A = this chain, B = another copy of it.
Amino acid sequence: MYLDLDGQGARYAQLIRALKGAILDGRIAAGARLPASRSLARELDLSRNTVLAAYEQLQAEGFLLGRVGSGSFVANVGSAAPPRRASNVLIAPLSAFARRALTHTDGRRIPGRQHLDLRYNLQYGLPLVNPLLASVWRREVSRAAEHAEFDYPDAQGLPALREQICDYLSRRRGVPTAAEDVLIVSGTQQAFSLAARVLLEPGDAVVLEDPHYRGARQAFTTHGAHARGCRVDADGLVPAALPASARLAVVTPSHQFPTGALLPLARRVELLDWAAAQRAWLIEDDYDGEFRYGGRPLAALKSLDRDGRVIYIGSFSKALFPALRLGYMVLPAALRDAFVAAKWLEDRGNNSLEQAALAHLMSSGGFERHLRRAALALRARRAAMLNGLAKHAGDTVEVVDSNAGMHLTAWLTRANHGDCERLVAHARERGLGLYTVAPYCMKPPARPGLVLGYASLPPADIEAAMKLFGKCLQEIGLR
């Protein structure tokens, strides 16, 4: 009997797999007698106990019948599936959803952040590294673990956390809301994914600002919605450019992503009027509304929502850090039950521990202390970047300075898109991670631009990065 042990894990388990395979393939026929344990052990260079244990297990599973004094016989296990090996060949088609999903992972096997070997990485979304936050968070988590809940959580989110979010939104974002209208979700991405399913049929139109956050487009188009772009200028979304019919628009009025524009009041009102005329929903993605460095923060669009059509999305990925995977939605009363049901059917709600830790961080004042410290740090990093750009890039870039957030957009004044790609490639070779505006756009933008994240690097590194940026501009002849 030829048995091929696969060499993975315990010899006992290898032998079981090999025997099962041979029985299921029909290489050992039903009714056949297996070799005596002693002889098989000798043949395969195994201990006799290993063989006996494998026979015993196969007997327990019904592959072998033992007859006292006469050895082990192969049971009739019916016709087995053909001995194809598991492969990458699909045995049945994927859904249209799955085929669309695959187009969004850019051929990367495991989507997620690519860890590049760069001296200075200006990628947007890298978190502010903050040892004080790390120790505060450690304390909150340990504290929450002392009072751990073990049963299923509230699918809508921990009530104490929802209360804290209400308090925060009313004080800081001008959004008066009640805990029953807040839904805790696994980050902004899940908010988009749930909204796609709850609000849109495949084939429905969704309006996205152009440029926009890619994760939103991916969630909606994978669901099967048609994304329509709306032009953005220095004041953000241009209401006159809104398409004639759509079921939903996703907007970033506080800090247009990625251009940084702040949508003026008159445009906010026009946007609400458009939505009312269309019977459309609006999603306000307030992804970094916590960080504004000049003037008072404007109230959120949601604060103008008179008839319950604005869905407000907040995230702790920027205010705290992305590994937390926590965000929230403020839902109009008419949508609340449907979104909560969708969340419950998706994953039964978020895990309890970090919700409890976050609720206590907020109620103890630690969250707002962190926000104040983070804003100071971000302001210094932003200043270092603005100074560095002025000094080392001069008028080769035009910077959109919105006094907010964790990134700047810099438009290249003397370059075409090809130059910009060359700049990015050259900078990467020199250890500087630059990222263009292009992937955020549906239509190619009129001018090439860069999205420059400054949250993860201390000011000295940003200064050095800007110096290197200036050198790169010179080296490829743009300055």
Contacts and interface: CB of A to CB of B under 8 A. Distances in A.
A86 B332 contact: yes
B193 A304 contact: no
Q: What copy number does this chain have within its complex?
A: 2
Contacts of A111: 155, 340-341, 344
A149 B134 CA distance: 9
Contact of A189 (B94, B99, B222, B348): B348
A61 B265 contact: yes
Interface stretch (A197-205, A398-406, A411-419): A197-205
A325 B97 CA distance: 25
Nearest to A295: B60
Size category of the A interface is 35 or more
Contacts of A75: 265-266
Contacts of A98: 197-199, 338, 341-342
A163 to B, nearest CB: 13
A127 B151 contact: yes
Given A101-B341, A348-B189, A80 B269 contact: yes
A109 interface: yes
B176 A9 contact: yes
A378 to B, nearest CB: 15
B276 A81 contact: yes
A346 interface: yes
A324 B353 CA distance: 8
A363 B324 CA distance: 23
Contacts of A152: 112-113, 125, 322-323
Top 8 closest A-B pairs, CB basis? Answer: A86-B308, A62-B265, A186-B347, A150-B321, A101-B341, A323-B352, A84-B307, A98-B338
